[in-house]
Structure 1
């Protein structure tokens, strides 16, 4: 069904690459007016800058129908090598970056006729992948799950839905570094997957399109695993 998002104003963070870019491109193809945000547009960990950006969006559009919080940053290291500074930077890059955007967007989401917030956790929030030094990342993404449930409760009376997508391993410029650093990593990922393939950004974007659309009007507080069955064993 074409134009599933026609007439909707969608803000996508992390829109320059990876899952964020996949969502921004597919949302535009489905008829949404897309405001893509990345580092070049705004430091999403700068409270003043984030508030100013969303105030400008509000002044132009009056409301936001969809907020896609795809931007994230993480340091991957084993616990004995993970510095406290990198731990804190990862939690900021996984949690603060979602909180600041969601809080700044909240009045504009409430002004919509029915808004959708889409956050991203990870299969890593549900299982530990052997060989993956992802302690801080797992903690951050577990926090995103909890935050999304709370946003769903707080938004319900205002017609704001909040849902989470938990991707499995998705091919992006960032994850390509993990594959290059450890040639056996792909084998371990595929061993966990029921479907013996790696995901692409569009695999996640199609799920986001559905959650953003009116087709998902009865869905909130959900966590949808898009991970080739990795966490379903």
Structure 2
């Protein structure tokens, strides 16, 4: 079993969905969590949920991780509050999806900014603190869209951005090695979160049934499915896992 006792973890997008689930799981395993989100109300609710279970968490919100100032503010808050950073979980992202012939350049740029740039900026801000700590781990949320095309939901910009996350993670392995910093990624399939619920609803009953049925697991993913994997990767139990991408999709890629 993974154990995060004594670890200080930055987790982005803790206002709900996978970020909230990760904050709860990391705190249950003993980590001090510093979250962030643009959604101040949701971020505060997550802090309350963690504290209600006896965990330690603080949050920076609202914060814009697409700016150097926002990312630095988040990282510095963790250092000031807890003395350093051991784990960076780049979870937050916002995508624009739609048919290829309807994807605008603005939508394309939006996805690259909110799915790839924020990973770069947050990692850049946290990096010197991970180095000062003598090592740590960067966990990046990629996606199955970075591996395969999608039949049910058009994800051109989303897939391109997440493909960039996968490649960026590999580069971090080489850069982090001299400092004892690991870098890994997680590629979730379709996870039911507040962000994806409208997309799932738009499929209609038949579309939802077909999409769930096409998954070998027979269901859509839950935020907790990803949070438990992230907690393991963040722990010393995964100390020899470096550069890997862990697919959490119920088997879609293996048996499409």
Q: Find the aligned partners of 2:226 and 2:207 in 1 and give their Cα distance.
A: 21
Structure 2 SS opposite 1:173: coil
Counterpart of 1:29 in structure 2 is 28
Q: Find the aligned partners of 2:75 and 2:147 in 1 and give their Cα distance.
A: 32
Structure 2 SS opposite 1:88: helix
Q: Find the aligned partners of 2:70 and 2:250 in 1 and give their Cα distance.
A: 37
Give 1:195 deviation, angstroms.
Answer: 1.3
Counterpart of 2:219 in structure 1 is 197
Q: Find the aligned partners of 1:70 and 1:225 in 2 and give their Cα distance.
A: 15
For the Cα contact (< 8 Å) 2:10–2:75, is it kept in 1? no
Counterpart of 2:119 in structure 1 is 98
For the Cα contact (< 8 Å) 1:164–1:223, is it kept in 2? yes
Q: Find the aligned partners of 1:153 and 1:193 in 2 and give their Cα distance.
A: 35
For the Cα contact (< 8 Å) 1:62–1:108, is it kept in 2? no
| More displaced 10-residue stretch of structure 1: 34-43 or 96-105 | 34-43
Alignment of 1:85 with 2:106, yes or no, is: yes
- TM-score, scaled to structure 1: 0.95
Q: Find the aligned partners of 1:69 and 1:141 in 2 and give their Cα distance.
A: 12
RMSD: 1.4
1:68 aligned to 80, 89, 97, which one? 89
Q: Find the aligned partners of 1:55 and 1:114 in 2 and give their Cα distance.
A: 17
- TM-score, scaled to structure 2: 0.87
1:216 aligned to 225, 234, 238, which one? 238
Structure 2 SS opposite 1:80: helix
| More displaced 10-residue stretch of structure 1: 123-132 or 29-38 | 123-132
2:164 aligned to 125, 129, 143, which one? 143
1:128 aligned to 127, 149, 153, which one? 149
Deviations 1:85-107 (A, max 9, x none): 11101100110010000000001
Q: Find the aligned partners of 1:192 and 1:161 in 2 and give their Cα distance.
A: 34
Q: Find the aligned partners of 2:247 and 2:240 in 1 and give their Cα distance.
A: 18
Give 1:16 deviation, angstroms.
Answer: 0.8
Q: Find the aligned partners of 1:129 and 1:160 in 2 and give their Cα distance.
A: 33
Alignment of 1:51 with 2:50, yes or no, is: no
| More displaced 10-residue stretch of structure 1: 215-224 or 56-65 | 56-65
Q: Find the aligned partners of 1:188 and 1:44 in 2 and give their Cα distance.
A: 36
Q: What are the ranges of 5 or more consecutive residues in structure 1 without an aligned counterpart?
A: none
1:177 aligned to 198, 205, 210, which one? 198
Q: Find the aligned partners of 2:80 and 2:29 in 1 and give their Cα distance.
A: 24
2:188 aligned to 162, 167, 177, which one? 167
Q: 1:107 to 1:177 in 2, by over 3 A?
A: same
> Between Structure 1 and Structure 2, how many residues are aligned?
232
